[in-house]
Amino acid sequence: MSALAYDLYRFINPDRSTKDWAVRANDDGTYTSRWGKTGTRLQSKTFANGMISMRDHVRSKTNKGYALIGQVLIDDDGKITSAQTSKPQGQDPHPTEDPPCLFWRMRIKPQASLSDTQAIGQFHANVLSMGKTITEIYGSSTFMNNFLQSLINDQVSSAGKLFNEQGVASLLLFMAMMKVAPSQVSIHLSHDDGVDISNKLKLESKALSFFDTDLETVRPVAEALGLLEKRLDLSAVASSQDDFYF
Residues 1-15: pLDDT tens digits?
678 889 899 898 888
Whether 172 and 227 have beta carbons less than 8 Å apart is answered as: yes
Same domain, 121 and 221: yes
pLDDT mean over 139-156: 84
* Residue 225 phi, psi (nearest 5): -90, -5
Domain count, the chain: 2
Task: Give the model confidence (pLDDT) of 215-240 as tens digits.
Answer: 999 999 999 999 999 877 666 555 55
Same domain, 11 and 118: no
Classify residue 230: in a domain, yes or no: no
Classify residue 236: in a domain, yes or no: no
Classify residue 237: in a domain, yes or no: no
Same domain, 106 and 221: yes
pLDDT at 47: 92
Same domain, 59 and 115: no
Same domain, 112 and 67: no
Classify residue 241: in a domain, yes or no: no
Same domain, 125 and 187: yes
In terms of average pLDDT, the best of 11-20, 123-132, 157-166 is: 123-132
pLDDT at 146: 86
Q: Is the pLDDT of residue 27 over 80?
A: yes
Same domain, 16 and 60: yes
What DSSP character marks residue 211? T
CATH code of the domain covering residue 68: 2.20.140
Classify residue 121: in a domain, yes or no: yes
Q: Whole-angstrom Cα distance, residue 220 to residue 131?
A: 15
- If pLDDT is split at 50, 70 and 90, which confidence band does 94 have? very low
Structural domain containing residue 156: 102-225
Classify residue 18: in a domain, yes or no: yes
Contacts 24+ apart (CB under 8 A), 112-121: 116/184, 119/182, 119/183, 119/184, 120/182, 120/184, 120/185
**Is the sign of the CA dihedral 206, 211, 217, 218 positive or negative?**
negative
